[in-house]
């Protein structure tokens, strides 16, 4: 099957990364544990996907303290929103081209 691959981002080939982006696109920020719970992943697995997205500049980290406990939360960057948007557009175009 031949597909129009314009706009599809390689980083979003993985459904876990897609999930992280989806969750962060509708939330101002989410903590590591919240993401872990939503995606049902192990610490190591989630950390590696987060690292990849951070390296691409799609998400960023915010470290703060709640009392004495460190709280790591993640948020989507402008580049992340743009990349995720164009990925969604590409998916939309794919659907459109199928229904024609």
Q: Contact residues for another protein (CB under 8 A)? A: 1, 3, 12-13, 15, 18-19, 22-23, 25-27, 30-31, 34, 37-39, 88, 91, 94-95, 98
Instruction: Give the H/E segment covering residue 54.
Output: helix 43-55
Report the nearest approach of another protein to the CB of residue 39 (Å). 8
Provide, rounded to whole angstroms, the least separation between the CB of residue 57 and another protein: 20
Q: Helices 43-55 and 15-25 meet at what angle, rounded to 10?
A: 70
Specify the residue, 18 or 81, whose C-beta has the smaller distance to another protein: 18
Comparison of 29 and 54: residue with beta carbon closer to another protein: 29
Q: For the residues of 2-15, what is the DSSP string, one character each?
A: ----TT--GGGGSH
Asked if residue 71 lies in contact with residue 31, where contact means CB atoms within 8 angstroms, the answer is yes
């Amino acid at each position: 099957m031949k597909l129009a691959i314009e706009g599809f981002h390689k980083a979003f080939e993985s459904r876990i990364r897609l999930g992280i982006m989806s969750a962060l696109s509708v939330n101002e920020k989410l903590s590591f544990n919240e993401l872990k719970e939503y995606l049902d992943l192990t610490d190591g697995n989630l950390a590696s996907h987060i690292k990849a997205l951070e390296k691409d500049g799609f998400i960023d980290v915010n470290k703060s303290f709640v009392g004495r406990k460190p709280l790591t939360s993640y948020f989507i960057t402008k580049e992340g929103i743009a990349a995720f948007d164009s990925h969604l557009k590409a998916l939309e175009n794919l659907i459109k081209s199928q229904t024609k």
